[in-house]
């Protein structure tokens, strides 16, 4: 079973796209509450690699791992610190 939680609307669209492409395993997608914040979501669909995440920013002292919509908050807050930090968002495991 694959469980996933999208960080934003684009990831959510890509997960729904992947789910309907004929996968042969059960997949749970956590539907985020509230409204989206992105203005441009009409992009090409992309296949998401199963079991992978994405490096949003690289750092040297701290690594922040997120799952789901909290990643958007970390993107907003990451510029408030004086040191470089790594930020990785994991959407599928």
Tens digit of pLDDT for each residue in 3-19? Answer: 888 888 888 888 889 88
Tens digit of pLDDT for each residue in 36-84? Answer: 676 676 788 888 878 778 888 887 777 888 888 888 777 777 777 655 6
Give the pLDDT mean for 84-88.
Answer: 71
Largest CA distance in the chain: 46
Can you give the pLDDT at residue 16? 87
Q: What is the 3-state secondary structure (H, E, C) of the chain?
A: CEEECCCCHHHHHHHHHHHCCCCCCCEEECCCCCCCCCCCCCCCCCCCCCCCEEEEECCCCEEEEECCCHHHHHHHHHHHCCCCEEEEEECEC
């Amino acid at each position: 079973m694959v469980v996933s939680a999208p960080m934003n609307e684009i990831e959510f669209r890509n997960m729904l796209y992947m789910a309907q492409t004929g996968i042969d395993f059960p997949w749970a997608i956590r539907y985020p509450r509230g409204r989206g914040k992105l203005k441009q979501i009409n992009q090409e669909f992309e296949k998401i690699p199963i079991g992978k995440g994405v490096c949003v920013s690289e750092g040297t002292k701290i690594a922040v791992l997120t799952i789901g919509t909290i990643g958007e908050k970390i993107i907003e807050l990451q510029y408030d610190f004086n040191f470089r930090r790594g930020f990785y968002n994991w959407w599928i495991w």
